């Protein structure tokens, strides 16, 4: 599951780009397409950070001191 989740997130960017390719409905005063792209960047960053934190290989004391 850890290895497929980043691919699913990237696929969501492309699927969302096709689904939200509109200029008229605005989200926070920006077009829907732009809002989806910004949301997907934050979503991918948050999920990748969670994957990094939950990975047992990153539990060493060396990484915590940096």
Could you read off the pLDDT tens digit of each residue along the chain, which spans 66 residues? 557 888 888 888 888 888 888 778 888 889 988 898 899 999 889 988 888 888 877 776 655 566
Secondary structure class of 26 (helix, strand, coil): strand
**Residue 41, H or E segment:** helix 32-54
Decide if 64 is inside a domain. Answer: no
Q: Is the model's pTM score more than 0.75?
A: no
Decide if 65 is inside a domain. Answer: no
Decide if 66 is inside a domain. Answer: no
Domain span at residue 23 reads: 5-57
Decide if 29 is inside a domain. Answer: yes
Decide if 47 is inside a domain. Answer: yes
The total number of structural domains that make up the chain: 1
Decide if 62 is inside a domain. Answer: no
Between the two ends of the chain, the Cα-to-Cα distance in Å is 28
């Amino acid at each position: 599951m850890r290895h497929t989740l980043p691919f699913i997130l990237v696929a969501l960017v492309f699927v969302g780009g096709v689904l939200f390719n509109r200029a008229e409905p605005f989200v926070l005063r920006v077009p829907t397409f732009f809002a989806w792209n910004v949301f997907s960047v934050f979503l991918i960053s948050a999920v990748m950070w969670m994957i990094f934190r939950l990975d047992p290989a990153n539990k060493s004391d060396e990484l915590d001191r940096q």
